[in-house]
Amino acid sequence: MKDGHPVHLRRSSRHRHAQTHSRHEPHAGSQTATRSTTPPTRPTGWGQRLLRSPAWVLGAMLAIALVVELTSDALRRLFLPDIGGITGVALGLVWLPLLLGGLLWKLIVEPLHREQHASVTRLREQRRQLEAEAQRLDFDARLLRALEMADDEEGVFEVTRQALGLASPGRPAELLLASSDDASLARVATADGHEAPGCPVARTGDCPAVRQGRSLVFDSSENLATCPKLRHRAETPLAATCMPVAVMGRSIGVVHTTRPVGQPEETIDAEADRLASLATRAGARIELIRALDESREQAATDPLTGLANRRTLEARYRQLERDEATHAVLACDLDRFKQLNDTHGHDVGDQALVHFARVLARASRPGDLVGRSGGEEFVLVLPRCDRHEAVEVGERIRTLLADSLATSGVPPFTVSIGTADTAAGEQFEDVVRVADAALYEAKRTGRDRVVVGPGVRPEAVAVDEPRHLRSSG
């Protein structure tokens, strides 16, 4: 914390988080914090250079010996002029090693000792960084494997709950996420064994980390430049880390954790690395799941009305076949739709189709299958209902259609409906074929009505003619 501002770039790892989460197009691997570890380098101080050059060492020692000898001789002549030659030589031999040893210690040994100590310190720090990096990579690998096995968003949330406890051990942590079509944040995961930190942010635009698209680290809730949602949350000051979660290039969530003030920087850095990895990996998996869901939805629905297409109806009907109860099918066809298209244009025709799809949705029950089988033809499957009970649903459709058209702005039109049930056959195609025959009868007898199909096998029903005659509506 500098001058009351949140520390975004505490160390090199913190710098990586800020750069990573400020991107607005996060993809798997693009936000993951990365480190480049430099291999240990040999100290290059002058003392070690001297040791690696014997000539330099020998020359230095001779120079020192010469200086010491001259100094000793001068001192002897100055202070001990009466001492004889032999005694002077003896004193010189005593003083010379002492002075030479002191100079060697001061000029060579002590600098070497300092450099050695610094080298050991650097090696220990590099070892600590390598161990931290290995732990981060191990966490990231295990997290990636777990997320790859999550088939839906609930599976991602379950993995996130476990990962939060590992990324921020012993501390409250949570994942707040917005749905794909809403900006409201909801708590979808909390670290196992802990209560949620309780961030009160309600919308994505209210969270600074989400709004800015980068990680934020707050050293104390009492600092001037702290998150407003963190201030006054607890009786004692809190520190917090917030990592935005991006899906499809847009930040729509945040991984949030709190801790006591004054934790070691190494601990905060390691935790921030793991939370950044979790935010990146979880966001990437959610993005993939939503993209797959959207793709499946597009393949399963009619793009104009949003109803299920025929293939989807058949697949869902096969699931109903496991139930031995009777199921009814209503085949619906808009009357004189070609004439409506020719008179008012295809845009109005599309409006009529969409309007009728809404009527079908209103008339159906929860669990009913509603779909568009093609053109102006629609199918409604009623589980646990026979063809006679389906008549009531068909009449409700006709009534709702007539009432809604009065205020819709769409030109008036009617619908003919035929009903059949599983007495006509076990396969979806068999039941629809009999319902089509009843629909033809409704067209033939005046349109705008519901006709019950015969409870016979489809081999006894001719449907080639209805398809041909119904082309005119």
Residue 266 has pLDDT above 90, yes or no: no
Residue identified by tokens 């979806």 is 428
pLDDT at 185: 93
Sequence-distant (6+) residues with CB within 8 A of 216 are: 6, 8, 208, 209, 227, 241, 242
Distance (Å, whole) CA 73 – CA 81: 10
DSSP assignment letter at 426: S
The per-residue pLDDT for 23 is 36
What is the reported pTM?
0.61
pLDDT band at 436 (very low <50, low <70, confident <90, very high): very high
State yes or no: pLDDT of 30 exceeds 80: no
Whether pLDDT at 306 is above 50: yes
Local structure of residue 372 (DSSP, 8 states)? E
More confident residue, 412 or 465: 412
Q: Under DSSP, is residue 206 helix (H, G, I), strand (E, B) or coil?
A: helix
Please tell me the predicted confidence (pLDDT) of residue 412: 94
The pair of structure tokens assigned to 347 is: 């845009």
Inter-residue contact 359 to 343 (CB < 8 Å):
no
User: Could you tell me the two tokens for 133?
Assistant: 């990096």
The CATH fold assigned to 1-300 is: Beta-Lactamase (3.30.450)
pLDDT at 468: 40
Task: Answer whether 469's CB lies under 8 Å from 443's CB.
Answer: yes
Q: Return the domain boundaries, the chain.
A: 1-300, 310-472
Rounded Cα–Cα distance for residues 206 and 221 (Å): 17
pLDDT band at 13 (very low <50, low <70, confident <90, very high): very low
Distances in whole angstroms, Cα of residue 164 to Cα of each of 126, 186, 259? 27, 16, 14
Rounded to an integer, the average pLDDT of 322-343 is 91
CATH architecture assignment, domain 310-472: 2-Layer Sandwich (3.30)
Closest Cα partner for 435 from 424, 443, 446?
Answer: 424
| pLDDT value, residue 33 | 39
For the stretch 344-366, pLDDT in tens is 999 999 999 999 999 999 999 99
- Higher pLDDT residue, 53 or 126? 126
Report d(CA 168, CA 468) in Å as an integer.
69
Distance between CA atoms of residues 420 and 432, nearest Å: 7
Confidence of residue 453 (pLDDT cuts 50, 70, 90): confident
Looking at residues 305-330, what average pLDDT do you find? 87
Q: Does 115 have pLDDT greater than 90?
A: no
Distance CA 395, CA 407 (A): 20
pLDDT of residue 58: 63
Buried-state track 32-64, b at ≥16 Cβ within 10 A, e below 16: bbeeeeeeeeeeeeebbebeeeeeeeeebeeeb
CA nearest to 470, candidates 336, 330, 294: 336
Cα torsion angle, 41, 46, 47, 49, sign: positive
Residue 18 confidence (pLDDT) above 80: no
* pLDDT value at 35 more than 60: no
Tokens for 141, please give them: 């690998």
How high is the mean pLDDT of the chain?
Answer: 81
Q: Residue 248: what pLDDT? A: 84
Tokens of 159: 């993995």
Q: Which whole-number Å values give the CA distances from 453 to 79, 310, 386, 397, 430, in the listed order? A: 137, 20, 11, 18, 12
pLDDT at position 76: 58
Q: What pLDDT band is residue 249 in, cutting at 50, 70 and 90?
A: confident
> Which residues lie across from 218 on neighbouring strands?
240
Nearest to 21 by CA among 251, 285, 281: 251
**Within 10 A of 152 (CB to CB), how many other CB atoms are there?**
13
Q: What average pLDDT score do residues 396-418 get?
A: 94
Nearest-angstrom CA–CA distance, 237 and 260? 7
Pairing of strands 377-382, 415-421: unpaired
> What whole-number percentage of the chain has pLDDT above 70?
74
| Average pLDDT of span 316-326 | 82
Whether 9 has a pLDDT exceeding 60, the answer reads no
Helix 265-300 crosses helix 153-167 at what angle (to 10 degrees)? Answer: 180
> Residue range 320-343: average pLDDT?
90
Predicted local distance difference test score (pLDDT) of residue 417: 96
Cβ-based burial of 462 (10 A; exposed 0-12, middle 13-18, buried ≥19): exposed
pLDDT at site 294:
85
Task: Indicate if the pLDDT at residue 220 is higher than 90.
Answer: yes
pLDDT of residue 195: 87
What per-residue confidence (pLDDT) applies to 456? 47
With DSSP H G I counted as helix, E B as strand and the rest as coil, what are the percentages for the chain, rounded to 5? 55, 15, 30
Give the model's pLDDT for residue 14: 40
What are the φ and ψ backbone dihedral angles of 266, each rounded to 5 degrees? Answer: -60, -40
Banded pLDDT at 186 (limits 50, 70, 90)? very high
| Residue 413 · residue 352 · CB < 8 Å | yes
Provide the residue count of the chain: 473
Structure confidence by residue, pLDDT tens digits, 129-159: 888 889 889 999 999 999 999 999 999 999 9
Euclidean distance between CA atoms 140 and 307, whole angstroms: 41
* Rounded distance between C-alpha atoms, residue 122 and residue 138, angstroms: 24
pLDDT number for residue 6: 47
Residues 439-448, mean pLDDT to the nearest whole number = 94
Listed in order, strand segments (DSSP E) in 270-353 are: 328-334
Q: Which of 151, 332, 185, 302 is nearest to 255 (CA)?
A: 185
Q: Please, which pLDDT band fits residue 471 given cuts at 50, 70 and 90?
A: very low
